[in-house]
Structure 1
């Protein structure tokens, strides 16, 4: 007959002396067992609140990193660039002198891309070619071929090293590169439509600033959404959504033209013949900050982002469209589709064709399919005039 033994607990646990020796054999065995357990039963992930900026050595990347270094919601800021001329290690060392709580890491070269993306919560893909001739327009399709490899390489690395991260695509043209990134992630089997966003913050910021300068309202207390796409011929500012009483349609049409031609205006005014890197970098940093606040603090509203819609029927019958949205703990949480007036609806219908073509261009190069440009999808507002400045700028891009 077996007798049950009753284990008695000591009355005073503090009186038990701790052993001053260690069984190294058992420790190694237990360590191997823990490795096997982690292999089949991974531990829950504790986000480090890390943001990775790919292309941080570029002009836009430096400015965005400067503002991201000041955000308390970010604990780790990883800077990466594969271009030796950008010297991202020097940029990281410079930012590390700023006395904020955000830690800065810098990685130079493709061999360190894994370390830069490891455990990232948000990845900002910026950099690439931004140069445009001052008195003629470089078609977005031509610009795409300069930057497509940069976006595709980063997308593949994100699929492997940080599949849980939210990816914000800012490298121009965003319409093409967003589709390239999304379909690359689909091929890798890690695509989540709530976690891939095309950055449209610069257009919404410009529209809001122009509108507030006319009406005299406070820009920090108003928002002006931009729908459809992010390109010069696909962005549709919705000035009717702003609360400003009777706003003349003639002024709205003038502001719409300014928003669409903002890139060309800046290129002609700036002596270095480049886009507005200061405003683009600031808007991109604020875009990423809003995402981080939505992930770790509370649901946060974003003025405009190019995303795959949850219900295309409620979004002008467009499966992929730039709209205002709310970001929560799992990514995009809610879509806010503004109501358009007659003029904005007509402009949207004219812009749909070019947006579909730009998205199709990125999709074809992601899937390896052959791309054909339909004659009806050539945007009539892209007209390149012959001028002596075109050829030198093409050589700079190459």
Structure 2
């Protein structure tokens, strides 16, 4: 008897056996949603990173080149391109790059109102682009350049602190020394600062130093590294050729290579007919910098030749709290700081460059916290005062990258 009853129940159509409510209990659904939100505060759901990189300023020359190389990396699953300048047509750039047949998905966002979806759930945020005073060989101090770009960096930093505080921020917008200080002090004000997750991009200087040294010695630049310490600007970068086994070189040749690294931007400006910077090399080095961060976050600890960071132990880093040194990036950001030893000439150059770096950092800090900015005493008698450029007629012209 029970067997026949069981067969009759199984013979009933599935659609009829399922009871469906003809109404929705909104009160109960809202109560459950509130309980779920309160539960997530104490028992947060584990985050599964989407391996997403957001390029802020992707419509600039450097942003386009960096995005082109980032699209080719399998470690990046989603590449979000954002820009708030309509003339840069970032949507067209995103559509163009999306035609490359790689597994990386491309998203395009144009305008300030789309900054939140561009940053949402990002793992690395690259801040590049901005404006620069053209040509850079003229007597235009970096503080004028900072005034043009500070709003972009500050707005993006506040948005990162609110929408993706877990992201690693890589700052490439010039001048990097000032904007790095502006970023970290803005994050401190928003109570979202982690010194392991804010890096100033110094890859172009380390790449130039490595290439120059490898050209002279005949070594393979792919297996050698030449660190650059102190800062990222012309007057703050200190290439450490002694760490690249340059001990057998005469000091005059080392001094010549050091000058080439520090004045590389001016040299490119004079050689190029349109008085532009080296956007190709800067974009490539920036993309490689971001890829190394992603590999350290999701694969294994990765060594980066040079990055402007807050040091874990300033006493071991030439008594400098903020300094560009080689670092190792791991799961949570920076996991190790490598400080190369300096010889006598490099130590002397570092002491000359410290005051310029302190002045740039103080400028960015002042505009982040609202303090009054005072010119550093060493700037009154600076050893690195830019000279007038007689070849350029429009020294005050402004351009967009």
TM-score when scaled to structure 2?
Answer: 0.91
Task: Identify the residue that residue 7 of structure 2 maps to in structure 1.
Answer: none
Runs (5+) with no aligned partner, structure 2: 1-12
Question: Cα gap change, 1:230/1:22 in structure 2, threshold over 3 Å: closer, same or farther?
Answer: farther
Structure 1 residues 227-238: aligned runs within 5 Å: 227-238=229-240
Runs (5+) with no aligned partner, structure 1: 1-16
How far does residue 32 in structure 1 lie from its aligned partner after superposition?
5.3
The 10-residue stretch of structure 1 (17-26 or 346-355) with the greater mean CA deviation from structure 2: 17-26
How far does residue 21 in structure 1 lie from its aligned partner after superposition?
4.5
Question: Cα gap change, 1:88/1:246 in structure 2, threshold over 3 Å: closer, same or farther?
Answer: same
Contact 2:355 2:376 in 1 (8 A): no
The 10-residue stretch of structure 1 (77-86 or 126-135) with the greater mean CA deviation from structure 2: 126-135
Question: Cα gap change, 1:116/1:134 in structure 2, threshold over 3 Å: closer, same or farther?
Answer: closer
Task: Identify the residue that residue 4 of structure 1 maps to in structure 2.
Answer: none
Question: Cα gap change, 1:196/1:131 in structure 2, threshold over 3 Å: closer, same or farther?
Answer: same
Contact 1:131 1:273 in 2 (8 A): no
Output the CA distance in 2 between the equivalents of 1:338 and 1:179.
23
Task: Identify the residue that residue 156 of structure 1 maps to in structure 2.
Answer: 158
Task: Identify the residue that residue 96 of structure 2 maps to in structure 1.
Answer: 94
Question: Cα gap change, 1:380/1:244 in structure 2, threshold over 3 Å: closer, same or farther?
Answer: closer
Task: Identify the residue that residue 265 of structure 1 maps to in structure 2.
Answer: 267
Question: Cα gap change, 1:75/1:85 in structure 2, threshold over 3 Å: closer, same or farther?
Answer: same
Task: Identify the residue that residue 145 of structure 2 maps to in structure 1.
Answer: 143
Aligned partner of 2:80 among 78, 81, 85: 78
How far does residue 245 in structure 1 lie from its aligned partner after superposition?
5.8
Q: Does 1:219 align with 2:221?
A: yes
Task: Identify the residue that residue 319 of structure 1 maps to in structure 2.
Answer: 321
How far does residue 374 in structure 1 lie from its aligned partner after superposition?
2.9
Task: Identify the residue that residue 384 of structure 2 maps to in structure 1.
Answer: 381
Structure 1 residues 1-398: aligned runs within 5 Å: 20-23=18-21, 25=24, 29=28, 33-34=32-33, 36-41=35-40, 42-133=44-135, 135-243=137-245, 246-378=248-380, 379-385=382-388, 387=390, 389-390=392-393, 392-397=394-399
Question: Cα gap change, 1:32/1:101 in structure 2, threshold over 3 Å: closer, same or farther?
Answer: farther
Instruction: Give the SS at the match of 1:222.
Output: coil
Contact 2:134 2:397 in 1 (8 A): no
How far does residue 397 in structure 1 lie from its aligned partner after superposition?
4.3
Output the CA distance in 2 between the equivalents of 1:386 and 1:336.
38
Output the CA distance in 2 between the equivalents of 1:28 and 1:280.
57
How far does residue 39 in structure 1 lie from its aligned partner after superposition?
4.4
Deviation string, structure 1 residues 129-154 (Cα, Å, up to 9, x no partner): 13432652421111111111111111
Deviation string, structure 1 residues 8-44 (Cα, Å, up to 9, x no partner): xxxxxxxxx9864455747994685255323441312
The 10-residue stretch of structure 1 (61-70 or 144-153) with the greater mean CA deviation from structure 2: 144-153
How far does residue 49 in structure 1 lie from its aligned partner after superposition?
0.3
Output the CA distance in 1 between the equivalents of 2:38 and 2:162.
17
How far does residue 83 in structure 1 lie from its aligned partner after superposition?
0.3
Deviation string, structure 1 residues 323-343 (Cα, Å, up to 9, x no partner): 000000000000000000111
How far does residue 75 in structure 1 lie from its aligned partner after superposition?
0.3
Contact 2:307 2:324 in 1 (8 A): yes
Contact 2:133 2:397 in 1 (8 A): no
Question: Cα gap change, 1:39/1:137 in structure 2, threshold over 3 Å: closer, same or farther?
Answer: farther
Contact 1:135 1:387 in 2 (8 A): no
Question: Cα gap change, 1:21/1:294 in structure 2, threshold over 3 Å: closer, same or farther?
Answer: farther
Contact 1:131 1:274 in 2 (8 A): no
Deviation string, structure 1 residues 68-119 (Cα, Å, up to 9, x no partner): 0000000000000000000000000000000000000000000000010000
Output the CA distance in 2 between the equivalents of 1:320 and 1:375.
19
RMSD: 2.1
TM-score when scaled to structure 1?
Answer: 0.91
Output the CA distance in 2 between the equivalents of 1:388 and 1:204.
29
Output the CA distance in 2 between the equivalents of 1:245 and 1:370.
45
Deviation string, structure 1 residues 210-231 (Cα, Å, up to 9, x no partner): 0000000000001000000001
